[in-house]
Every structure is written in structure tokens, then in C-alpha cells.
Amino acid sequence: MNEKIALISGANKGIGLEVARQLGKQGMIVLVGARSLQKAEQAVEELQAELIQAYPIKLDVTDPEHIRSAANRIEKEYGKLDVLVNNAGIYVDHEGTDVDVIRRGFETNFFGAYALTTSLLHLLKLSPAGRIVNQSSILGSIGTILTNEMYGRASAPAYTTSKAALNAWTAQLSIQLRDTPIKVNACHPGWVKTEMGGSDAVMEIHEGAETAVYLATLSGDGPTGGMFHKQEALPW
Ligand SMILES: NC(=O)c1ccc[n+]([C@@H]2O[C@H](COP(=O)([O-])OP(=O)(O)OC[C@H]3O[C@@H](n4cnc5c(N)ncnc54)[C@H](OP(=O)(O)O)[C@@H]3O)[C@@H](O)[C@H]2O)c1
């Protein structure tokens, strides 16, 4: 199969939907993951109206059964996966700093991405140019927290620590896969006008999707094991 297959989690709205749109416009078949099948189908309808080859997948990244069934379906229908964008994410810090809140943040932002990726790795290895993009945040960059007062003082332990865990694992996975064609990078989309980013955010959604799209379409001599915003490397 010559066409590239991309799976994007949390693709029913926000940055994920726009990443699906931009990858679809480049000719990829996009699998729109969403925890509600109905929301996935609505997003797919929108994309198909723009002549994008899009298909819905029911995918709550915290549900092992959804992950198993997505992996089986991709294997059966396509026999490989070229691009995985771990975009699904939550910000729960307005609910407090209790350990339960921190755990919830980790469930989606780290364990979800970890479980989905490890369940799909055998299919990414069957691609001639597998790309894994972990949608992270500058708030998970320890180097930035230590050097930028604004990010250092932001109190969002669930979000910060779950994205920092995602970053650490991104780096290690890139090392483990460096003898394969697979590239693994983390992405900071910027502060984007979505439900999570809010209306005061400075970037429009189409611009917020660009870093993930860049990392999902890297050429063979592109970077791996980095964290990027708009093609610029950020500190871990
Ligand atoms: N917006 C920003 O300024 C900003 C900045 C830095 C990083 N990010 C990161 O960018 C990514 C996308 O954020 P966004 O701004 O587009 O947020 P958003 O509009 O709130 O969208 C989040 C997406 O993730 C989905 N999701 C949440 N939990 C999920 C789960 N357990 N399984 C599957 N999907 C799940 C949501 O689905 P539902 O519709 O079902 O809730 C939604 O589709 C996130 O990882 C976020 O941390 C965003």
C-alpha cells in the first residue's frame, strides 16, 4: 500500500482535528480517534466534505479494550501504520492538587499515550518511515520551568508532571528506535485557541497544528528525540 496511514488521538476537535485535516490534505488516510464514536463520525463528515480520506475510530486512550480493537482494525485493514499522533490530552489542574487529580492527568496524558504507542509499535515498524508525535507542552519542559519565571510559577502539577513524563519517555523511545526508520518527537503546539487553550490564547488552531504536522511528515534526514515548537528545538 503506497498511501500513508495516520492515526490521531483526540481528533474530534481542537488541534487534533486540525492535524487530521492538514495530514489528510497531504494525501494521507486519516483515522480520527475520539472517545465518542458519534463525535468521531461528525469530525469525519467534516473532513470528507473537504475530500479528505478520513475514517472514525472509537478510541478512549485510557481504555485498553478500545486500544486493542483499534490496533486489530488497523492491522487488518491497512497492515501498517505510518504516523501516530498522540494528541489526546486533558488539563485537570483547576480541580485541585490532590493526588487523585494528578493520577487522572497521568491516565490520559502519559499512560494513554504510552499504552497506545506500545500497542501500535509493531505496525509502525512495518512502515518504511514511521513517525510518532507526542503532543506535549512547554509546561512539561523542565529546562523551561527552571529558566522562565512565568512557566516556573505556573501551578499545574497534574499537567506539568504528566507532560514531563511523556517527554522523558519520548527521549528514551527515540534512542530505543534509532536503528529503525521510526522518528519519535515531542511537540509544543503553542498557546492555541481551543477549548483547552481558551479564547485568550494567541494562536489560531490551524497554526497550532503546524508543529505536529511538521513532525509527522519529517523526511528521513529529519530529527528524532527532540521537543519542537515550529521547527525550533526546545529544552527538555
Ligand atoms: N491548546 C493549547 O494551548 C495547548 C498548549 C500546549 C499543549 N496542548 C496539547 O495539545 C493537545 C490537544 O489540545 P487541544 O488544545 O486541542 O485541547 P481540546 O480542544 O480540549 O481537545 C482535546 C482532545 O483530547 C480528547 N481527549 C481527552 N481525553 C481523552 C481520552 N481519554 N481519550 C481520547 N481522547 C481524549 C478530547 O476529547 P473530548 O472531546 O471527548 O473531550 C479532545 O478531542 C493536548 O494534548 C494538549 O495538552 C494544547
Tens digit of pLDDT for each residue in 143-158?
A: 999 999 888 888 899 9
Question: d(Cα 111, Cα 103) in Å, to the nearest integer?
Answer: 10
Q: Is the CB of 189 inside a 6 Å radius of any atom of ligand 1?
A: yes
Q: Pocket of ligand 1, candidates 7, 94, 104, 194: which has the most ligand atoms within 8 Å of its Cβ, to mutate?
A: 194
Domains of the chain: 5-233 (3.40.50.720)
Q: How many CB atoms lie within 10 A of CB 176?
A: 11
CA-88 nearest atom, ligand 1:
24
CA-138 nearest atom, ligand 1:
6
Question: d(Cα 68, Cα 50) in Å, to the nearest integer?
Answer: 30
Average pLDDT, integer, range 181-200: 98
**Catalytic pick from 78, 151, 159, 214?**
159
Query: Following CA atoms 126, 28, 112, 121 in sequence, which dihedral angle do they give, to the nearest 10 degrees?
Result: 0
For residue 114, indicate whether it is catalytic. Answer: no
Q: Is the CB of 134 inside a 6 Å radius of any atom of ligand 1?
A: no
> Which of 153, 157, 160, 164 minimizes the C-alpha distance to 186?
164
- Say what the pLDDT of residue 170 is: 98
- Say what the pLDDT of residue 225 is: 98
Distances (CA, A) of 135 to 34, 58, 166: 15, 19, 9
- Say what the pLDDT of residue 155 is: 84
* Confidence band for 1, pLDDT divided at 50, 70 and 90: confident
Reported as a single tens digit per residue, the pLDDT across 96-134 is 999 999 999 999 999 999 999 999 999 999 999 999 999
Average pLDDT, integer, range 197-214: 98
Residues belonging to the chain: 236
Nearest residue (by CA) to ligand 1, atom 7, is 137
The neighbouring-strand residues paired with 234 are: none
Share of the chain above pLDDT 90, in %: 96
- Say what the pLDDT of residue 159 is: 97
Reported as a single tens digit per residue, the pLDDT across 2-16 is 899 999 999 999 999
Nearest residue (by CA) to ligand 1, atom 44, is 89
Reported as a single tens digit per residue, the pLDDT across 70-87 is 999 999 999 999 999 999
* Confidence band for 65, pLDDT divided at 50, 70 and 90: very high
Q: Pocket of ligand 1, candidates 37, 58, 90: which has the most ligand atoms within 8 Å of its Cβ, to mutate?
A: 90
- Mean residue pLDDT across the chain: 97
- Say what the pLDDT of residue 154 is: 84
- Say what the pLDDT of residue 153 is: 84
